[in-house]
Amino acid sequence: MAYHSFHLEPISCHAWNKDRTQIALCPNNHEVHIYRKDGAKWTKVHELKEHNGQVTGIDWAPESNRLVTCGTDRNAYVWTLKGNVWKPTLVILRINRAARCVKWSPKENKFAVGSGSRLISICYFEQENDWWVCKHIKKPIRSTVLSLDWHPNNVLLAAGSCDFKCRIFSAYIKEVEERPSPTPWGSKMPFGELMFESSSSCGWVHSICFSASGARVAWVSHDSTLCLADANKKMAVASLCTETLPLLAVTFITENSLVAAGHDCYPMLFTYEESQGALTFGGKLDVPKQSSQRGLTARERFQNLDKKASSDTANATLDTLHKNSISQISVLAGGKANCSQFCTTGMDGGMGIWDVKVRHPRSPPHAGSTQHQTLVSHSSNCNPRPHPGCCAALCCGGGAHPAHGGGGPTVLGGISLTQGWVGGHPWVAL
């Protein structure tokens, strides 16, 4: 895992190019900065300054190499690289409130913009007029649209909004694509058709994500809840109320595994048990530094009460890599089906890149048992190494190392969870 601080204001949003050598990000203002990786350094190569309000969304089309941005000025721009200069094209969204998020479709022939106007603008290029036009999806959205994600079929669009709902719409545009094939979410897909709507009142939906197959959709909300709907199970919804601060971002890293992060400043692993239709907390992927602290004297406690309005110094500094809320997660390598690397950016102005490896257990499974995968998240952060051979179970459950008299790794829903050290680096196994 690598971490880089851009020494900027909070990073509002980011997007990567196809070969992951450049990242476009917004430093919490009306600009978009593009950085290129030069060895171990990141060099700023472009500044895009067309917006008049804060940039709220960025997406980078991998095949056409076009950027799309949106902002509080109620506009969107499609950026095309000509020579060494990014040229903007204005897209009129026909909204009267701020645009909040933007996403290219998988085929890159259209993009969607969510806004505070309680609608979604589906924008596509009209060849006859040489201009970007848009259609609106309005009903039954009743509040600001905060997050969007496209289904792999290029037609269905998932949206999370401030009316506490996750919805899936048809964004079929007959002018630019053929009639879609039936999906587990439904077969009739005229433009604007509501294919799914969550029934639970969970809070503002900050982030939403389709799985690689498109049969599942997951979302996180402001009440610290993670939900997952499975179209192959009659759209049954599994929900897990976490004990963390609100989550702001979520993504699939395998068909049954998700990574989410938010105000707790570290990414967390969650798994979906298909047989039980339940979500399970898999543990923290950012292992904090282990340090021994002596107890506080009565005098020190009273001094802390006076200076910090707290009697404890344990929370004075964060042991996590990010020092402020994580606002976005993006998959870098392997895709959502078999992610091997993902990126986090946050309000601390930093970017973390996390390596994930899927391994199979070395020992063959017992007769009648099913072999499961092992998900490992490596970190190159300089954390102190514990006693050789020491291995502790995740904080989500008991289970000490067998050598210490414990029962080995924690088993949740038939999946083994372990935390330990490899070559001096912490890892989490699933």
Residue 388, pLDDT score = 33
* Higher per-residue pLDDT: 322 or 388: 322
The values of phi and psi at residue 261, to 5°, are: -155, 165
Of the candidates 79, 129, 73, 141, the one whose C-alpha atom is nearest the C-alpha of residue 104 is 79
Write out pLDDT tens, residues 403-413. Answer: 333 334 333 33
Write out pLDDT tens, residues 335-391. Answer: 999 999 999 999 999 999 999 876 554 444 443 433 344 454 444 333 333 333 333
* Higher per-residue pLDDT: 92 or 395: 92
- Average pLDDT for the chain: 83
Give me the half-sphere count of Cα atoms (radius 13 Å) on the Cβ side of residue 220: 25
pLDDT at 416 over 50: no
Record the tokens describing residue 141, joined without a space.
Answer: 């959205």
Segment 234-246 mean pLDDT: 95
Q: Give the pLDDT band of residue 200 (cuts 50, 70, 90).
A: confident
pLDDT at 397 over 60: no
Identity of the residue numbered 93: L
pLDDT at 49 over 60: yes
Helix (H) or strand (E) holding 85: strand 85-92
Helix (H) or strand (E) holding 302: helix 298-308
pLDDT at 266 over 70: yes
Segment 224-233 mean pLDDT: 96
Give the 3-state secondary structure of residue 269. Answer: strand
How many angstroms separate the CA atoms of 340 and 405, rounded? 34
